[in-house]
């Protein structure tokens, strides 16, 4: 008698719990306020900075932030965290809005402010904090707003994984406030630069004209945003002033969570917190659906 033995082999260790937020961004808007152009070197592939979808998953101990762009992630520069040319900021507002200035070098301000930002970089976290975050984010501002010390609002993830055009970054829940209090969110996509401007946190500059290693369409003076894409309409990024005499950053809005969004987050937290009412089979189905591209089956006939 022949019997079939079915084995599931996991080829990825990315496991998610509950999807609590997702946003499908405009495709083809990876040009900053509308006129930015990619650097000329072929390593900067078309679509590399075009954010297609951003999602947040809730695990028992972590939040998982998922960035999907329009080109596969690569690591030609052999960075420790697993990819090379992109970096991301995730700004979270928990209804306080403590800070208005974005991370140093983004050259952007927020209308309603933010409370925590997750800086997702391919650089080693220890080096990022030592060389790029501390010392550059204690005095951030333009020529008309008072500078801010935003250092206490910055967080870096602990775990990263790449799956083709998706980047997964995990942040321990202890580092963030209760996500049930989240009221607004914004995500920036930028280029990385291991040797940035002295006032910039690891971000690649946008100049007036593009070149092998520089984006074009901005200004050769200080003040234009170095953000290539963000959630929603990018056009407000163009409301800046960058001249020899003055620099004024653009002011942008965050994506506000609807009542429906907040109810979904509350529901997913309840699923994880109320273990006695937790439906294990449904949870496993969520994980399996998330991992279906990462699983293959081996059947042995004996």
Q: Is the pLDDT of residue 2 over 50?
A: no
Q: Look at strands 184-191 and 86-93 and give their pairing.
A: antiparallel
Give domain status of residue 194, yes or no. Answer: yes
Say which residue, 206 or 269, is predicted with more confidence: 206
Give domain status of residue 293, yes or no. Answer: no
Cβ neighbours around 9 below 10 Å, total: 9
In this predicted model, what pLDDT tens digit does every residue of 182-236 receive, in sequence order? 999 999 999 999 999 999 999 999 999 999 999 999 999 999 999 999 999 999 9
**What is the per-residue pLDDT for 273?**
79
Q: Is the pLDDT of residue 4 over 80?
A: no
CA distance 43 to 41: 5
**What is the per-residue pLDDT for 133?**
99
Give domain status of residue 292, yes or no. Answer: no
**What is the per-residue pLDDT for 66?**
99
Q: Say if CB 118 and CB 65 are below 8 A apart.
A: yes
Q: Is the pLDDT of residue 55 over 70?
A: yes
Cβ neighbours around 253 below 10 Å, total: 14
Domain hosting 81: range is 17-278
Q: Is the pLDDT of residue 16 over 70?
A: no
Give domain status of residue 291, yes or no. Answer: no
Give domain status of residue 301, yes or no. Answer: no
Tell me what the mean pLDDT of segment 62-79 comes to: 98
Give 17's pLDDT tier (boundaries 50, 70, 90): confident
Give domain status of residue 9, yes or no. Answer: no
Q: Is the pLDDT of residue 42 over 60?
A: yes
Q: Say if CB 179 and CB 200 are below 8 A apart.
A: no
Q: What is the pTM of this model?
A: 0.88
The domain tally of the chain equals: 1
Q: What's 88's domain CATH number? A: 2.60.40.1190
Centroid of chain to Cα 94: 17
Give domain status of residue 295, yes or no. Answer: no
Give domain status of residue 4, yes or no. Answer: no
Cβ neighbours around 181 below 10 Å, total: 15
């Amino acid at each position: 008698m022949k019997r079939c033995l079915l084995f599931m082999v996991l080829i990825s260790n990315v496991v998610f719990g509950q999807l609590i937020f997702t946003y499908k961004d405009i495709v083809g808007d990876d040009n900053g306020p509308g006129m930015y152009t990619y650097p000329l070197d072929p390593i900067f592939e078309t679509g590399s900075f075009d954010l297609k979808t951003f999602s947040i998953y809730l695990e028992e101990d972590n939040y998982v932030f998922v960035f999907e762009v329009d080109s596969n992630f690569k690591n030609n520069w052999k960075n420790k965290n697993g990819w090379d040319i992109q970096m991301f900021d995730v700004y979270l507002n928990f209804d306080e809005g403590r800070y208005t200035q974005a991370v140093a070098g983004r050259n952007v301000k927020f209308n309603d402010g933010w409370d925590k930002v997750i800086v997702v970089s391919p650089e080693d976290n220890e080096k990022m904090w030592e060389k790029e975050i501390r010392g550059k984010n204690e005095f951030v501002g333009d020529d008309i707003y008072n500078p801010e010390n935003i250092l206490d609002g910055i967080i870096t993830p602990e775990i990263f994984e790449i799956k083709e055009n998706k980047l997964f970054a995990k942040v321990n829940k202890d580092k963030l406030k209760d996500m049930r209090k989240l009221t607004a969110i914004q995500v920036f996509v930028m280029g990385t630069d291991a040797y940035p401007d002295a006032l910039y946190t690891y971000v690649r500059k946008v100049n007036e004209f593009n070149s092998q290693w520089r984006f074009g369409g901005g200004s050769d003076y200080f003040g234009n945003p170095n953000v290539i894409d963000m959630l929603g309409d990018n056009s407000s990024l163009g409301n800046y002033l960058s001249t020899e005499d003055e620099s004024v950053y653009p002011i942008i809005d965050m994506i506000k969570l609807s009542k429906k969004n907040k109810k979904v987050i509350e529901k997913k937290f309840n699923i994880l917190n109320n273990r006695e009412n937790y439906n294990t089979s449904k949870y496993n189905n969520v994980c399996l659906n998330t991992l279906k591209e990462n699983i293959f089956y081996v059947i042995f006939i004996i």
